[in-house]
C-alpha cells in the first residue's frame, strides 16, 4: 500500500483525515502525513495515486534510456 489514511478522534472532530505516504525518508516534509478535509479524501488520494503513477512511468522511461545507451556503447 503506498498510502495510509489516519482517522483518529482528533481528526474526526475536526472533519479531517491524515494521508501518509509510506516509505518516505526521514526529513521529508510529508513524512508525518498531510491533513486533508474528510470531504476531499477521495479526490486527494486519486490525485496522489495519479502523480505517483506518472513518477513511476518517468522513472521506467529513464531506466530504459540508460539501458539503451549501455547497449549502444558496447
d(Cα 60, Cα 36) in Å, to the nearest integer? 30
pLDDT along the chain (74 residues), means of 10: 89 93 92 93 90 82 85 83
Distance of CA 60 to CAs 1, 40, 49, 52, 56, Å? 20, 30, 16, 12, 6
Global confidence as pTM: 0.67
pLDDT at 28: 93
Per-residue pLDDT, 36: 94
Answer for the pair 16, 37: CB distance below 8 angstroms, yes or no. Answer: yes
Radius of gyration of the chain (CA): 18
Strands (E), 1-74: 3-6, 16-21, 34-37
Amino acid at each position: 500500500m503506498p498510502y495510509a489514511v489516519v482517522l483518529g478522534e482528533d481528526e474526526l472532530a475536526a472533519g479531517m483525515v491524515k494521508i501518509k505516504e509510506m516509505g518516505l525518508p526521514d526529513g521529508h516534509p510529508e513524512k508525518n502525513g498531510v491533513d486533508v478535509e474528510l470531504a476531499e479524501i477521495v479526490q486527494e488520494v486519486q490525485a496522489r495515486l495519479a502523480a505517483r503513477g506518472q513518477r513511476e512511468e518517468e522513472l521506467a522511461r529513464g531506466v530504459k534510456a540508460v539501458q539503451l545507451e549501455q547497449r549502444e556503447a558496447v
